[in-house]
Structure 1
Amino acid sequence: MIGWLPELAVAILASVLAITLHEAAHGYAALALGDDTAQRAGRLSLNPLRHVDPVGTLLLPGLLLVVQLLTIGRVEAMFGWAKPVPVDIRRLRDPRSGMALVAAAGPAMNVFLAWCAAMLAHPLENLGGTLPPEAMALGVRFIILSILANLLLGLFNLLPIPPLDGGRIMVGLLPAPLALRLARLERAGLLIVLLLIFVLPRISPSLDLLGWLVELVTGPGFNLILWLAGHGS
């Protein structure tokens, strides 16, 4: 049995790694494509403190942790965001396609991190006979939570609503007239996302977008990552 404090620690570690490296991937992609704004602002960093957003990095994940630990005694899924890495689209060598690539770098990093977490199960399994049961359980829990946190963060950000990554990818791919219309939603994008998450499910359970994403992540998405990491079907 894992105590609540170690459970909390591995959940925080998994979430912080997922969020920090997601944002860092945006900055490094922008730098590779000609924009050094994040570097000059000191945001091209793997230091989690540089990317902390009071609500998205601390308050919301902390609330989810406490609620899950108090209600079901374990952490099944996490959600949050970091302070966005600054990108100046005018500095990119090809602004439209460059912005789409910069946006895609974050979710791509999360998928990669989920796969890396699944790969950790191989050496952990080999150490199974030498580790105490509590350490083995904690290692397995970290792997599970890392896969879930990265898949949920990556998939959520692929929703085609600016300022989410998926919205910016669509702005880079759509014909110019449609791209401009979608880009105009960015100022209201966060409000739209909050309505989709908190209001629509109260209107109809079938409109529970976050619940659908969690179901996808904990089912087919989780199994796909395990398969890609060589754990069979």
Structure 2
Amino acid sequence: MILAYIRPEKNFDAVHEQLQLINSYALTNGLVIDDEFIDYTSQNKRLDERQEVTHYFQSQSGSTLLVSDIWVLTTNMEDLIQMFSCLLRNDFNVHFIKQNVIMSKESSAMLVLGLMDHLRQKLKEESKRSIGRPKGSKSSSKFDVYINEIVKYIQDGKSVSEIARLLGVSRSSLKDYVESRELKQVAFGSLLPKAPENAEEQIINTIVCPE
């Protein structure tokens, strides 16, 4: 099974941005996504409060998991250790798209540690940038809950008018949403940045040790 896991967070990437990367990655690598899970649980929730997603992962042992970035799993370092441990124990292959690396049981310990330190550094940088930033600075839309269906309808060749009728929403509002989120490009185009060479080595080399 190939699974796409998406979790929005106001200070990082919105649903449509994550979905854009995931669909582009899947198209580029000839992967067919079997299921998509959009987790609207707040990033403030700890792992033991996220039973829906933990049960979902446990039920999909041996799957390939596509996530746009490390923080999508969690923004808590303690929870990240537990999630990495459990995903690997359950034979997941986790594709981190922005980092262009795949984590599996066969991965080196240095890669796993590099991914963890990459998140630690990102959270540290984000905490500095977020001072004075208004909450909710990344806009959301009432159509976000339909984004999976909309992309699939576009892939099936349905027009915006047909999709609006199927969803029971305004055609003009839906048209604006599809255009602003570039959902036609998401459905059919490859919008990935160029993958770096030696991506695993780059992740390992970003580890910062205290002086």
Same fold (TM over 0.5): no
Please tell me whether Structure 1 or Structure 2 has the larger radius of gyration of its CA atoms: 1
For Structure 1 versus Structure 2, the TM-score category normalised by the shorter chain is: under 0.3
Q: Which structure is higher in RCO with an 8 Å CA cutoff and minimum separation 6?
A: 2
Greater helix fraction, Structure 1 or Structure 2: 1
TM-score normalised by length of structure 1: 0.26
TM-score normalised by length of structure 2: 0.27
Greater strand fraction, Structure 1 or Structure 2: 2
